[in-house]
Structure 1
Amino acid sequence: MKYAEAVLVPETQGNSIHCRLDRDPRFEELLHYHDEIEIVLIDDSKGEAFIGDRFVDFSCGQVFVIGSGVPHRFIFKESSDSKAFVLQFHPSYFGGHFIENKEMADLKHLLKRSVHGLKFSNNVDKPQLEAYFRSMIDEKGMPKVLALLGLLNQLSSSEDVEQISSYGYEKISNSTAKDRLNKVYDYMLENYDKDEISLEKVAAVANMSVYSFCRYIKKTTNKTYGTIINELRIGKACKLLAETDLNIAEVCYQSGFNNLSNFSRIFKKLTHKTPKEYVNHLKLKKSSPF
């Protein structure tokens, strides 16, 4: 069993802005987190990411902004040429009075929202973003800082952005708490679609009693254990309905539910649509020319 790991971002020749082009970014396949904010530009790759508490597909030209301490991993499809630009900088980089200036309002909002993980679609200007990344790789000093500001300005002004995770991790203030939560979350990620996952087993992963674990998970995530499991399962169900030809009953059982009526009730509660309405909505979107 692989648990989420805390990753230390090394100093690179004294630089506080770390930028690179990964041509084989398999290290990102391990669920991990770090203090630095991370921005990823997908280049000539496709696959699936898990950020915070959600699965999301990715493809060439898409950008992800991942906040400090947010668990994440990118699984690149074997058939694709795995290549991505990766930028990391500490949240304190824009600390002090600088971020409080009126002109920085959009940037401040972007960084605040990053605790949920953000996805920018293919409508972003990929050539311009790539130029910023390459400049941060090649340049030093003020030109590097200006490239960072240019990148953040473009993302801050974009309206084509999707919030990924349903909650942030800003409430988790120490490494011990993060380690415990991420062990729990990694276990749930590996087992949420299995019938045999139980509250007792997950509590044991956290080395806590069931009662203490329920209080802990509610305090740190503002959600119950059952709610988190249901959100993971419904997230998978939506993905299966969108990408496979499985019928609703098959999706129900493959998502970890063992009762179709319970599945339909929870599905509607979380998506505001019944599974059938969701399928019809997908068909309508596919047939629409716009």
Structure 2
Amino acid sequence: MVREQGVGRRLHPYATTALTPFGRSLIDDADAATARSTLGLVIGTNVQAFDAGLQSIAGLTTAADRMIYTTAADTYAATPLTAFARTLLDDADAATARSTLGVAIGTNVQAYDAGLAAIANLAVTNSNFIVGNGTTWVAEGGATARASMGAASTATTMTAGNGLTGGGDLSTSRTLTLGTPSSITNDTTNSVTTTSHTHALGFTAAEVYTGSAQDATSLPIGHVLSASTNTWINRNQSVGIYIYSGQAMSYVTQYYSGLGAQLAGTWRARGVVAGNDQIQLFQRTA
């Protein structure tokens, strides 16, 4: 206890503590900067100066697979950072990054092409055609596209020729109809009319007489009949055939009696019917 000098003065208690040489080197510093230097706390050299951004980071909750990012000036937040994202972040260049993403140009995605870009920019309009104009691709309507492709325009007319009917301009579907031809006979020729046509037979065809006149003399080519003759006619030899005037049921050759009207055309022998009566078969050939 220390007693103050003088009569009647009170005594005050005091305590003591150890004061090391380092302590004395600190308390004799003239200012804070010197004291920090004594403590080895030189801001910017030994310790970090206060920074609001670092303070924001210090307040974040740490966890596995997180990455910090700024949300405002000197303000940070944390977001997940996946293993896949890390494989992208460590890529050395854009080509490697595209490969990691599966979008390698020419392998996974289409390389840029001016023609494809032109097509992509075309308006998707109903009934338009994509046509090359010599420089790029353009979209054209029906009439313009037909002209570009050298196709016939709707003004072009389809005309039905001889033997056909129908036709018209190409603004709609058109039908060409074949005219009904006539029956072909040995006398038919190759010919055409505005609505029909005929053909030549090209060979002699047997025809059938369909009449009922007993005295008919113009029987069709190919018609076969039997006739009496006083002289045998060799096979395929031509001979005149006549109506027999003696009765209404027989024909005779030029060598027989009772000759009536002669039958038209050329008649040729085709064989014997009755040898004793000299009756032979004959056929009109012309």
Q: Higher strand fraction: Structure 1 or Structure 2?
A: 2
Normalising by structure 2, we get a TM-score of: 0.14
Normalising by structure 1, we get a TM-score of: 0.14
Greater Cα radius of gyration, structure 1 or 2 = 2
